[in-house]
Structure 1
Amino acid sequence: MQEIMKKTNVTLRKKKIANGKLSLYLDFYPPIQNAETNELTRREFLKLYLFDKPKDQLEKIANTESLQTAQLIQIRRQNELRKDDVYNEFEKEQLEIQRISRGSFLEYFKKIRDKKVGKNRLIWDTAIVHFEAFLKGNDLTFKEVTVTLIEDYKEYLLKAKNRKNNSSTIARNTALSYHNKLKTTLKNAYKEQKLRTDINAGIDSIKEQESQRNFLTLKEAKKLFSTPCPKRIVHQISKFSVLTGLRYSDIAKLTWEEIMFIEDDGYYIRFKQKKTEGLQTIPISNEAYEILAEKAQPVKTGKVFFDLKKWDVDRALPVWIARAGIVKHITFHCFRHTYATLQIASGTDIFTVSKMMGHKSIKTTQIYTKIIDEKKREASQRITLK
């Protein structure tokens, strides 16, 4: 790019437009990189105009002033493109900072989004839709990104309407998710030196609203797994989730290539979490591996639960829960909550549980300790001598 910039010539040109005027623009040859779009361009329109046929002295003077301004801009651009010869190292650095600061932060946000896949990509899509609505259709350069602006966006999210149901605001935890997408982008932009200050560090996240996390007690879990299930595959993956804490999405995509055995240590699963995209290695119990062994084919390749279909879970799980006499509202994700709650209740420290669950923050895992404390409080009230 430096070679292209050194050889680029800047020519001032005119283009006829309506109302008997000429638009002044710069012609770059070879083309240069546009600071906002990062695409090669030949033209820069200066928003300066000449009267094609000036009628009086005032129009002639206006033409002279516009032409002189355009010529000064032409000289400045030519010097910028030849800055290796004109400026010292500090000046070059400052010019590069200015160039980057004029770039589009919104386009950068979208480029980060484009690297995402699946359901996560859809969440990023909606996060950007809300950010564009907040900007009211305007673009945003890196130099315009401030702590105040992002704080204002946080307030916007907490009051924003649900795009599916315009009569209600989006849930607080949904707003948190959208806000975190922007914070991730700010963090990346600072890391890549597109932002001169770490704006992300100066912004507090939206506080998570604790949601109801239903789970099975050990007694209920044993009762459920001793109850016949309409679909064998549903029984298998549900038990596997309770024994490992894995989400449905990670169980569904689990392959034999992700299962390892280490002599004198046991079985491990090394996989990339679908939700967080984080690489995780967790040990699994022999009981959990026995479930996998039931699915073994002559050649252990491809998906372990090859015959798994989401609709089987949706149909069979409620029937199975009812057969077991469990009146709680239990979804498949509740098995992950069950794993965490039973681990903490059995004495496993919170840091180990957090690692096993693949949580990015210990705060997420602490929710389960609160559940245990509530159960202890309930138990303390059961004995009375009155």
Structure 2
Amino acid sequence: MEKTRRSTFKVLFYLKKNAPKKDGTVPVMCRVTVNGKQSAFSAKLDVSPSNWDLKFGRVSGKSKQANSLNAELDNIRLNLEQCHAKLLKESVTLSSEKLKNAYLGLSSDELTFFKFFDQYNADFKKKVANGIRSSQTLSKYEVLLRHLRSFAKKKYGCSDLGFTDLSCDMVQEFDYYLRNEKGLQPNSVWLYMIAFTTICRLAISRKHLVFNPFSEYKNAKEDKDRGYLLRSELEEIISYQCKRRNDILMKDLFLFSCFTGLSYSDIKRLEPGHIQQFFDGNQWIIIRRKKTTTSSNVMLLHMPKMILEKYAGLTRNGRVFPVPCNKSCNDFLKRLSEAIPCLNGKKVTFHLARHTFGTLFLSEGVPLESLSKMMGHKNIATTQIYAKVLNEKVGKDMQQVAHRFETMERAFVPTL
């Protein structure tokens, strides 16, 4: 028995030279070897390669900074030796991975950040099954967790993270990882970091995290040019005659979205109970948006009323419309944009209808506050994007006609 407890054990510090920082320093890595098998992790220290003593695995020189860094390396080595001695007493089977995890505080029975995240996703799956949350949002969290796991493996050489590993530096480095290593676009990075923030806030509220790792992080979503249909283009779609029954259905659903602002997912789950008559005598759609659970209240105009009457009683699942899949709708809209000359192959998707609703009704004088309520935005700043789009169009329109006034302007002679 005693013979099986014996093991070879080494600790080596080395530089990860393929990951230099902007200031020229590189991370210090720690490699533990047990019985010939190696495991590595970040020492969470950065040094200049020119100050590194390769032979002894330490910072060269006797400066105050060198002494401080070497003291931290000595402390890591001492803690590893203590963990090694403790594990030898507890178990006959010892590996480099088990030693590394013990040092990092990632014992099998301890709640780690990734275990916490796994549990969050498991709970989220139940909400998706009950129709409370969407599968697309779940997919976002699952992909985020995969990115975090690969980041931890590459950056720190470990398969899990403790809550104490979440720091301001770690958050910023993960941002760089998504942009540089994964090649994600800025808005994709923004999306994942928002989700990461959500998980951290939950960990803080449950007392697992004592410090907000996002306290120094700043990132903003880039405003993309939100496409929309002009009134004349929308009129062309309304008058376009589809030949196939399914195409007629998809065109009607698209127009219903243009005049209610409802997204594809909200139209798909629309039930008769969502359509109510208010004290003003008008019919309204009262629904909580699937994406944000925010209330969306829209008064029905004549066209969406006619579309509702057209499909009344045709579904058997308790929904208002027999909605095809989103891909089929977008494929049809692509064909439609190619068939209508004034659209000139414009990229028309189902979600474009929602943007069309926002810009169309804002341009007709509907106040931002009312439009925000109708579209179910959590923040009026989201609605203001439509106002920005309209202002940009006004500027472009002015530039197009500016040359017509050149002769008049040249004739003007300013006098005092």
The bucket for the TM-score relative to the shorter chain is 0.5 to 0.7
Aligned: 1:208 with 2:221: yes
Number of the residue aligned with 2:4: 19
Aligned: 1:152 with 2:167: no
Query: What letter corresponds to residue 111 of structure 1 in structure 2?
Result: Q
Query: What letter corresponds to residue 124 of structure 1 in structure 2?
Result: Y
Which of 298, 307, 311 does residue 283 from structure 1 map onto? Answer: 298
The one-character-per-residue Cα deviations of 1:50-82 (angstroms, maximum 9, x if unpaired) are: 999xxxxxxxxxxxxxxxxxxxxxxxxxxxxxx
**CA positional deviation for 1:301:** 6.5
For 1:132-281, what aligned pairs fall within 5 Å after superposition? 132-136=149-153, 137-161=158-182, 169-200=183-214, 202-230=215-243, 231-276=247-292, 278-281=293-296
> How does the TM-score come out when normalised to structure 1?
0.67
**CA positional deviation for 1:19:** 2.6
The one-character-per-residue Cα deviations of 1:183-220 (angstroms, maximum 9, x if unpaired) are: 001111222222223444x1445321222322111121
For 1:83-102, what aligned pairs fall within 5 Å after superposition? none
Number of the residue aligned with 2:23: none
**CA positional deviation for 1:298:** 8.2
Number of the residue aligned with 2:412: none
Judged with a 3 Å threshold, the aligned counterparts in structure 2 of structure 1 residues 285 and 205 are, in CA distance, closer, same or farther, namely: farther
**CA positional deviation for 1:282:** 1.2
Number of the residue aligned with 2:10: none
Judged with a 3 Å threshold, the aligned counterparts in structure 2 of structure 1 residues 196 and 315 are, in CA distance, closer, same or farther, namely: closer
Number of the residue aligned with 2:120: 112
**CA positional deviation for 1:339:** 0.8
Rounded to whole Å, the distance in 1 between the matches of 2:116 and 2:319 is: 36
Rounded to whole Å, the distance in 2 between the matches of 1:211 and 1:369 is: 14
Question: Contact 1:229 / 1:320 at 8 angstroms: preserved in 2?
Answer: no
Judged with a 3 Å threshold, the aligned counterparts in structure 2 of structure 1 residues 140 and 310 are, in CA distance, closer, same or farther, namely: closer
**CA positional deviation for 1:243:** 0.7
| SS of residue paired to 2:335 | helix
> How does the TM-score come out when normalised to structure 2?
0.63
**CA positional deviation for 1:17:** 6.8
Number of the residue aligned with 1:313: 329
Query: What letter corresponds to residue 140 of structure 2 in structure 1?
Result: I
Judged with a 3 Å threshold, the aligned counterparts in structure 2 of structure 1 residues 213 and 50 are, in CA distance, closer, same or farther, namely: closer
Rounded to whole Å, the distance in 1 between the matches of 2:118 and 2:216 is: 21
Rounded to whole Å, the distance in 2 between the matches of 1:109 and 1:203 is: 22
Number of the residue aligned with 1:374: 392
Rounded to whole Å, the distance in 2 between the matches of 1:104 and 1:132 is: 12
Rounded to whole Å, the distance in 1 between the matches of 2:2 and 2:369 is: 69
Number of the residue aligned with 1:66: none
**CA positional deviation for 1:309:** 4.2
Which of 119, 136, 144 does residue 127 from structure 1 map onto? Answer: 144
Number of the residue aligned with 1:385: 405
Judged with a 3 Å threshold, the aligned counterparts in structure 2 of structure 1 residues 155 and 265 are, in CA distance, closer, same or farther, namely: farther
Rounded to whole Å, the distance in 2 between the matches of 1:148 and 1:255 is: 48
Judged with a 3 Å threshold, the aligned counterparts in structure 2 of structure 1 residues 199 and 353 are, in CA distance, closer, same or farther, namely: farther
Rounded to whole Å, the distance in 1 between the matches of 2:88 and 2:315 is: 72
**CA positional deviation for 1:319:** 2.8
Runs of 5+ unmatched residues, structure 1: 1-15, 23-44, 53-98, 162-168
Question: Contact 2:284 / 2:298 at 8 angstroms: preserved in 1?
Answer: yes
Judged with a 3 Å threshold, the aligned counterparts in structure 2 of structure 1 residues 134 and 245 are, in CA distance, closer, same or farther, namely: same
Rounded to whole Å, the distance in 2 between the matches of 1:119 and 1:315 is: 20
Query: What letter corresponds to residue 322 of structure 1 in structure 2?
Result: E
Query: What letter corresponds to residue 184 of structure 2 in structure 1?
Result: I
Question: Contact 2:285 / 2:299 at 8 angstroms: preserved in 1?
Answer: yes
Question: Contact 1:132 / 1:138 at 8 angstroms: preserved in 2?
Answer: yes
Query: What letter corresponds to residue 380 of structure 1 in structure 2?
Result: M
For 1:290-305, what aligned pairs fall within 5 Å after superposition? 290-297=306-313, 302-305=318-321
| SS of residue paired to 2:111 | coil
**CA positional deviation for 1:46:** 4.4
Rounded to whole Å, the distance in 2 between the matches of 1:160 and 1:111 is: 27
**CA positional deviation for 1:376:** 0.9
**CA positional deviation for 1:232:** 1.5
| SS of residue paired to 2:115 | helix
The one-character-per-residue Cα deviations of 1:280-336 (angstroms, maximum 9, x if unpaired) are: 231232322332222111899711112534454234322322333211222221111
Rounded to whole Å, the distance in 2 between the matches of 1:374 and 1:299 is: 42
Number of the residue aligned with 2:103: none
Identity of aligned residues (%): 25
Question: Contact 2:296 / 2:373 at 8 angstroms: preserved in 1?
Answer: no
Rounded to whole Å, the distance in 1 between the matches of 2:163 and 2:268 is: 41
Q: CA RMSD in A?
A: 3.0
Rounded to whole Å, the distance in 1 between the matches of 2:5 and 2:207 is: 46
Once structures 1 and 2 are overlaid, which stretch shifts more, 278-287 or 237-246? 278-287
Question: Contact 1:241 / 1:247 at 8 angstroms: preserved in 2?
Answer: yes
The one-character-per-residue Cα deviations of 1:224-254 (angstroms, maximum 9, x if unpaired) are: 1111134221121111111111111221222
